């Protein structure tokens, strides 16, 4: 399944399916992007990052894609598991704002067993 | 193990009282941040500090105060001037300079009673 970020929508997927979470970032000067996972009642955890000189980066079961032309970032989770249920945030930063992260509103991922 | 510690995990405050949330890190990070998160919402920056004895207001600083007397510590005081303080408060730290993500604490849930 897919969703569009920045509005905290809910994406519901079946266990074992692939998930795609989308994020439309705001600043064309942004050159570093991060995905975080936040489980209920906990602080966000770093998942994966990507620099603007790349368009794809892979981790363990996760892939981040960056399309600078349309200012779009996506997080793909392969073989989604119940433990992946959480809110996912994208964040961007650029040199002109003291490297403070600019946060998207998040997407809630619900994995159905 | 290196990390960032927030305390207490839960805090109850009577109206009109100031309360101080603790944030300590042993990651040797220069920058520290305080965020507020309301239910179903994203992260909003309250204050940040990039070096000892210096800090800047974020997007929602009114009713809050901070200090940065030590590199390891960045306490946040929620004053009686904050009209709606009930929220989940997150502290984070990061190295300064190039592209780095933030490391978050586990959060403090503040409730006004």
| pLDDT per residue as tens digits for the range B10-57 | 999 998 899 999 999 999 999 999 999 998 888 999 999 999 999 999
Cβ contact, residue pair B92, A43, below 8 Å: yes
Q: Is residue B3 scored above 90 in pLDDT?
A: yes
Q: Does A96 touch chain B (CB under 8 A)?
A: no
Q: Tell me the three state secondary structure of residue B95.
A: coil
Residue A91 pLDDT: 94
Q: Are B66 and B55 in contact (CB under 8 A)?
A: yes
Q: Does B39 touch chain A (CB under 8 A)?
A: no
Q: Are B76 and B23 in contact (CB under 8 A)?
A: yes
| pLDDT per residue as tens digits for the range B62-113 | 999 999 999 999 999 999 999 899 999 999 999 986 667 899 999 999 999 8
Number of C-beta neighbours around residue A65 at 10 A: 17
Residue B1 pLDDT: 62
| pLDDT per residue as tens digits for the range A44-103 | 999 999 999 999 999 999 999 999 999 999 999 999 999 999 999 999 998 887 778 999
Residue B90 pLDDT: 98
Count Cα atoms within 13 angstroms, Cβ side, for A80: 24
What radius of gyration do chain B's Cα atoms show? 13
Structure tokens at B31: 């920058």
pLDDT, averaged across chain B:
93
């Amino acid at each position: 399944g897919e969703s569009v970020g920045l509005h905290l929508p809910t994406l519901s997927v079946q266990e074992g399916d692939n998930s795609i979470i989308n994020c439309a970032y705001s600043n064309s000067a942004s050159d570093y992007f991060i995905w975080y996972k936040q489980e209920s009642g906990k602080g966000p955890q770093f998942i994966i990052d990507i620099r603007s000189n790349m368009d794809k980066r892979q981790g363990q079961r996760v892939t981040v894609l960056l399309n600078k032309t349309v200012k779009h970032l996506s997080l793909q989770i392969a073989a989604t598991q119940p433990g992946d249920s959480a809110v996912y945030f994208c964040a961007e930063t650029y040199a002109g704002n003291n490297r403070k992260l600019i946060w998207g509103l998040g997407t809630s991922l619900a994995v159905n067993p | 193990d290196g990390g960032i510690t927030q305390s207490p995990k839960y805090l109850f405050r009577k109206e009109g009282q100031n309360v101080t949330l603790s944030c300590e890190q042993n990651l040797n990070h220069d920058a520290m941040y305080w965020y507020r998160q309301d239910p179903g919402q994203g992260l909003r920056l309250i204050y940040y500090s990039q070096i000892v004895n210096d800090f800047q207001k974020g997007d929602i600083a009114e009713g809050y105060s901070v200090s940065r007397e030590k590199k390891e510590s960045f306490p946040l005081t929620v004053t009686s001037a904050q009209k709606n303080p009930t929220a989940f408060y997150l502290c984070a730290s990061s190295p300064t300079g190039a592209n780095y993500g933030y490391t978050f604490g586990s959060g403090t849930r503040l409730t006004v009673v």
